[in-house]
């Protein structure tokens, strides 16, 4: 295997997989400045010194900028290397399957390994990985057959596809039903109603989904796309007959506008059994832009949710205090569903020791 554009998190990953010293893995980079340097015990070789015809797989360990991947794919195809044999750190499940196949890493039914991989921040979009593994672990502790992970606001689908990669990894390791649902107008942002929607930041029709059919074809069967205004799709979704056996356990709030966020949060206002007792909520906008504040946008919608719901409260929480700080650690909350039978003490659970800093 060849790792292109190696970086620290790949070093950590190889260590966790027991491959830190494995000579079958070599590092290379298309960036001439990096070639010749060392990372851990491996030197970073020039691509010209590698016989790509003899390489069985390439792992791209780079930032999740699409343009950058495109450049790497172009450079690899110039070396006659097939795109089918490339995965990236954006694709945890596919990459771990390769390690299982090529290096006999015991990945299937190995929740401890996946937990360590997430704890050590080895792949992309740890906010999604973290929310997803907490949901699955909670479902397991409640002996539920499955769980649903929701993204409101899909746009290009990069977030949704990444959530699906994590869902696949969790299905494979926990042997649990993990479903995913993405909500989007398909037509970009609706019109701002007033100052609470941040008209100084957002324009109507911005962030149109580029190709709905292409995105649908890229999603696994356990993921649904709910297209339309979330004001209409959310109440419809809550009527899904099997939702209480796979309750919502992670919720990404990323529809930007205050008005859209109010409607998206209706997904956390259904029957108590359509939700886990504590739903992980990632709030995209908190603390990022100077203009964002508690009186507008997603934060205001959350405040109103809490005001409206006597027995449900979304509580922002600085998660993972035992990790080096990352921005998303400040953008996380839990929706506490106090009217859930578990929170009412009417159903047994095994929630002691379920600690947010262990993931």
Q: By CB under 6 A, name the binding residues for ligand SAM.
A: 151, 153-156, 158-159, 183-185, 188-190, 207, 229-230, 254-257, 260, 263
The CB-of-64 to ligand SAM minimum distance in angstroms stands at: 10
Tell me how far, at minimum, the Cβ of 151 lies from ligand SAM, in Å: 6
Pairing mode, strands 223-227 and 248-253: unpaired
- Rounded least distance, CB 159 to ligand SAM, Å: 3
DSSP element (H, E) containing 86: strand 86-88
Task: Find, among 127, 98, 162, the residue nearest to 285 by Cα.
Answer: 127
Which of the 8 DSSP states describes residue 155?
T
Rounded to the nearest whole angstrom, what is the least distance from the CB of residue 124 to ligand SAM in the complex? 11
Task: Look at residue 97 and give its three-state secondary structure.
Answer: helix
CB nearer to ligand SAM: pick between 14 and 180: 180
Query: Cβ closer to ligand SAM: 85 or 196?
Result: 196
Nearer to ligand SAM, 154 or 301 (CB): 154
Residue 304 has a CB neighbour count (10 Å cut-off) of 14
Q: Which is nearer to ligand SAM, 156 or 309 (CB)?
A: 156
Q: Which is nearer to ligand SAM, 150 or 319 (CB)?
A: 150
CB of 226 to ligand SAM, least distance (A): 8
Taking Cα atoms as reference points, which of 230, 122, 114, 214 lies closest to residue 172? 114
> How many Å apart are CA 96 and CA 330, to the nearest integer?
29
Q: How far is the CB of 190 from ligand SAM (least distance, A)?
A: 5
Least separation in angstroms between residue 336's CB and ligand SAM is: 24
All residues at 6 or more sequence positions from 103 whose CB lies less than 8 Å from its CB, including other chains = 1, 17, 19, 22, 24
C-beta closer to ligand SAM: residue 105 or 267: 267
Q: Under the phi-then-psi rule, with left for phi > 0, alpha for psi from -120 to 50, and beta for the rest, what region is 125?
A: left
* 326/125 Cα distance (integer angstroms): 11
Is the Cβ of residue 158 or residue 196 nearer to ligand SAM in the bound state? 158
Cα 145 to Cα 167, 176, 272, 339: the distances in Å are 14, 6, 17, 21
């Amino acid at each position: 295997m060849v790792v292109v554009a190696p970086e620290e998190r790949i070093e950590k990953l190889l260590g966790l997989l027991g491959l830190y010293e494995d000579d079958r893995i070599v590092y290379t980079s298309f960036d001439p400045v990096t070639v010749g340097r060392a990372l851990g015990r491996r030197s970073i070789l020039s691509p010209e010194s590698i016989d790509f015809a003899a390489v069985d797989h390439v792992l791209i360990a780079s930032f999740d900028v699409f343009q950058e991947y495109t450049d790497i794919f172009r450079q690899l195809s110039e070396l006659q290397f097939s795109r089918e044999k490339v995965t990236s750190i954006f694709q945890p499940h596919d990459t771990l399957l390769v390690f299982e196949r090529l290096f006999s890493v015991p990945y299937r039914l190995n929740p401890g390994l996946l937990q360590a991989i997430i704890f050590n921040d080895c792949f992309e979009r740890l906010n999604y990985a973290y929310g997803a593994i907490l949901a699955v672990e909670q479902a397991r502790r409640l002996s539920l057959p499955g769980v649903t992970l929701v993204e409101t606001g899909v746009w290009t689908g990069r977030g949704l596809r990444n959530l699906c990669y994590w869902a696949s990894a969790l299905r494979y390791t926990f042997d649990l039903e993990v479903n995913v649902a993405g909500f989007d107008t398909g037509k970009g942002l609706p019109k701002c109603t007033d100052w609470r929607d941040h008209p100084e930041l957002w324009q109507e029709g911005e962030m149109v989904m580029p190709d709905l059919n292409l995105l649908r074809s890229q999603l696994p069967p356990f993921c649904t796309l709910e297209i339309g205004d979330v004001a209409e799709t959310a109440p419809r979704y809550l009527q899904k007959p099997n939702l209480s056996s796979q309750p919502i356990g992670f919720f990404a709030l990323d529809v930007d506008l205050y008005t859209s966020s109010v409607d998206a949060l209706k997904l956390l206002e259904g029957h108590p059994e359509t939700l886990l007792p504590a739903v992980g909520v990632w709030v995209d906008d908190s603390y990022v832009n100077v203009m964002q504040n508690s009186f507008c946008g997603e934060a205001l919608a959350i405040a109103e949710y809490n005001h409206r719901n006597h027995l449900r409260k979304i509580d922002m929480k600085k998660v993972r205090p035992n990790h080096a700080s990352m921005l998303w650690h400040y953008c996380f909350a839990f929706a506490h569903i106090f009217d859930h039978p578990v929170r009412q003490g009417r159903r047994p659970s095994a929630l002691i020791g379920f600690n947010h800093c262990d993931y």
